[in-house]
């Protein structure tokens, strides 16, 4: 099943609502069907009592590491983001006025479903609630070599579109290869610019859950953005960027001049 969180355009005061995908439309919990065009999409995450931990991986596809002139890391290169950077499907991401190189990163995002501590990789999938698509934009002009990638590059307001769907883990785990056999693709104004497959991750999803839970407790709603493959390009103002992952969804985003 595919879950969304939305605001109704005609009744935003009803607040964020849960909906599921139903034959090309959205079905609300009260049974009402609404077309995709009648809603504002939010990140497909239920609220959590404490700030959710949002992990993101750098250089987690061997080809992307090569593209950036880095050796693939021997242990995960992980950085953290705040929830304020998240926006939903079909929202706008700001390109700073002085940026010369801003690129998307199409990433499989894992949503944790159960409290996880000292989880072994063989059990890791039991702790996943579901999967969604993240676009982890980077403004490369602002890269500095202090706690790199630094937050000014990676934790900007509007800088992390997420969605449109949270797909139940069971639906993905039932597929051959599970989450580690999904095609990724990004288009800029309809032109394909990035192609990859999650099977090429350096550190796969079970490894990452084991790795993080070895030194910290993961809580329901925590997110792991698993990195991006080769093929990142500059995103000019006005561009429509579509990051998509097989069986999970197509995440649309628009670049707005800051």
Partner 1 sequence: MSAAPWQPAGTVYGVLLNFRNEYERWQPRMHEAPYKAPPQAPVLYVKTANTGNPDGGTVAVPTGMTGVAGVEAGAAIGLVMGEHGPVACALLNDFSLPHASYFRPPVKFRCRDGFLGTPRQTVPLTSLADLATLQLQVHVNGALRQTVELSQLMRTPATLLAEVNAFMTLRPGDVLMLGCDVGPDGQRPLLQPGDTVTLTAPGFAPLTHHIGTEALA
Q: In the bound complex, what is the minimum distance in angstroms from residue 115's beta carbon to partner 1?
A: 10
Q: Which residue, 158 or 193, is less far from partner 1 as judged by CB?
A: 158
Minimum distance of partner 1 from residue 119's CB (angstroms): 11
Contacts of 170 (CB under 8 A, 6+ apart): none
Nearer to partner 1 among residue 32 and residue 257 (C-beta)? 257
Of the pair 2, 52, the CB lying nearest partner 1 is at 52
Q: Single out the residue of 176, 103, 102, 165 nearest to residue 133, CA to CA.
A: 165
Give the C-alpha distances (Å, rounded to integers) separating 131 from 38, 42, 168: 24, 15, 7
List, in sequence order, every beta strand (DSSP E) within 138-190. 138-139, 160-161, 166-168, 183-188
Which is closer to partner 1, CB of 155 or CB of 187? 155
Q: How far is the CB of 143 from partner 1 (least distance, A)?
A: 10
The nearest distance, CB 51 to partner 1, in angstroms, is: 4
Binding region for partner 1 (CB under 8 A):
50-53, 55, 77-85, 96, 117-118, 142, 144-152, 155-157, 214-219
DSSP 12-25: GGG-SEEEEEETTE
Nearer to partner 1, 78 or 209 (CB): 78
Does the N-terminal peptide bond of residue 5 adopt cis geometry, omega within 30 degrees of 0?
A: no
CB of 132 to partner 1, least distance (A): 20
26 or 205, CB closer to partner 1? 205
Strands 86-87 and 160-161: parallel
Coil, strand, or helix at residue 185?
Answer: strand
Q: Map residue 232 onto helix, strand or coil.
A: coil
Residue 80 or 170 with smaller CB distance to partner 1: 80
Residue 103: exposure state from Cβ atoms within 10 A (0-12, 13-18, ≥19): buried
Q: Which of 43, 44, 1, 41 is nearest to 21 (CA)?
A: 1
Shortest separation between residue 178's beta carbon and partner 1, angstroms: 25
Residue with tokens 């602002």: 142
Least separation in angstroms between residue 151's CB and partner 1 is: 4
């Amino acid at each position: 099943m595919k879950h969304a969180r939305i605001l109704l355009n005609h009744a935003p005061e009803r607040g964020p609502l849960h909906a599921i995908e139903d034959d090309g439309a959205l079905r609300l919990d009260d049974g009402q069907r609404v077309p995709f065009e009648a809603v504002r999409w939010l990140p497909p995450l239920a609220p959590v009592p404490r700030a959710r931990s949002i992990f993101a991986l750098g250089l987690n596809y061997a080809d992307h590491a090569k593209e950036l002139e880095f050796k693939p890391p021997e242990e995960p290169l992980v950085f953290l983001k705040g929830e304020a950077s998240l926006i939903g499907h079909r929202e706008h991401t700001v390109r700073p006025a002085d940026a010369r190189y801003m690129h998307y990163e199409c990433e499989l995002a894992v949503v944790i479903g159960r409290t996880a501590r000292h989880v072994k990789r063989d059990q890791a999938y039991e702790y996943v609630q579901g999967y969604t698509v993240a676009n982890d934009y980077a403004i490369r002009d602002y890269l500095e070599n202090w706690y790199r990638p630094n937050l000014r590059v990676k934790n900007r307001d509007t800088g992390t579109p997420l969605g449109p769907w949270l797909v139940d883990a069971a639906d993905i785990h039932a597929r051959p290869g599970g989450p580690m056999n999904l095609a990724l693709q990004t288009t800029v104004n309809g032109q394909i610019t990035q192609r990859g497959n999650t099977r090429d991750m350096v550190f796969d999803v079970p490894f990452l859950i084991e790795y993080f839970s070895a030194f910290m407790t993961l809580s329901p709603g925590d997110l792991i953005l698993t990195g991006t493959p080769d093929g990142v390009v500059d995103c000019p103002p006005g561009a429509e960027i579509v990051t998509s992952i097989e069986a999970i969804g197509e995440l649309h985003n628009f670049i707005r001049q800051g």
